[in-house]
A = this chain, B = another copy of it.
């Protein structure tokens, strides 16, 4: 086992992500010890029962001795939690998060800055539709991207902290990239936020159809619908906060999606088979580019991505 990257980490919020970090840090020796806190009594009790680490009774106690504090709470709660945590953190410790929206997370975390900690927003592109402390597992981050959106006007000590946080996520098996926060939010709006919104929406639409029995929708869901229900099973609080906090980029994607869908709708109404054929063939080509890039080997594997950047362009 290599030396731990951090002597001690603190995880605030013990859901799927928090509990997976606790398990992975122990499994891969990335942290000497793990402190945990969750505002829910029930979740704290579960975390203790699962042996995820030293469960603290208060946020202050959890973060006090940590070299790195990782906030694993919905993005809407980040600012309040960061403000409660920072005054109790060690000088020179790192504060990071795992939120799916990074411009807003940066604002929320930097609002708590006391000039004595290193604030480095982050986002693991990993997850399942499960939630809660029981849902976590140590291999969740293996071969997944982890995006850091560090401040740009930073001194050497901050740069060293970014390297260390990067080493930590690398130790958990992730591939770390740094990116400007606004760029992250635009990329994730289309690769993650819009797909989730659409999945939530089609599930609701299907169950509101009066012309079809709900039992039939369930029964024949193998035709394609079932894939959407899996995505739509994700944590509602987390996703509400994502959409409220990445409004601009999501609305931009949504507008384009609706425009494109209206064009397909018109083609169906007017029987324009050539247009449908053209669009469906294009979608298939894109899928092939993703397979060629090794993106879909069951486990996530982004290894050969660089080679496809040019190829995927139409």
Q: Are A261 and B198 in contact (CB under 8 A)?
A: yes
Q: In the complex the two chains form, is A284's CB within 8 Å of B190's CB?
A: no
A48 on interface, CB distance cutoff 8 Å: no
The answer to the question of A116 belonging to the interface, with a C-beta cut-off of 8 Å to chain B, is no
Q: How far is the CA of A199 from the CA of B228 in the complex (A)?
A: 10
Contacts of A295 in B (CB 8 A): 218-219, 221-222, 226
The number of chain A residues with a CB under 8 A from chain B is: 103
Whether A28 sits at the interface, judged by CB under 8 Å, is: no
Q: Is the CB of A204 within 8 A of B236?
A: no
Beta-carbon contacts of A109-124 to B below 8 Å, as 1s and 0s? 0000000000000000
Please, which residue of chain B has its CB at the minimum distance from the CB of A277? B240
In chain A, positions 66-80 with a C-beta closer than 8 Å to chain B are 76
Expressed in whole angstroms, the Cα–Cα distance for A277 and B312 within the complex equals 36
Is there a chain B Cβ closer than 8 Å to A231's Cβ?
A: yes
The reply to whether the CB of A217 lies closer than 8 angstroms to some CB of chain B is: yes
Provide the residues of chain B in CB contact with A305, threshold 8 Å: 215, 218-219
Contacts of A284 in B (CB 8 A): 232-234, 236
Complex Cα gap A224–B290 (Å)? 13
What are 22 A-B interface contacts by the 8 Å CB criterion?
A125-B223, A186-B212, A190-B206, A192-B223, A195-B224, A196-B224, A200-B283, A201-B257, A201-B261, A204-B279, A204-B282, A205-B257, A207-B282, A217-B312, A218-B308, A226-B295, A229-B296, A236-B280, A243-B268, A244-B268, A247-B268, A247-B269
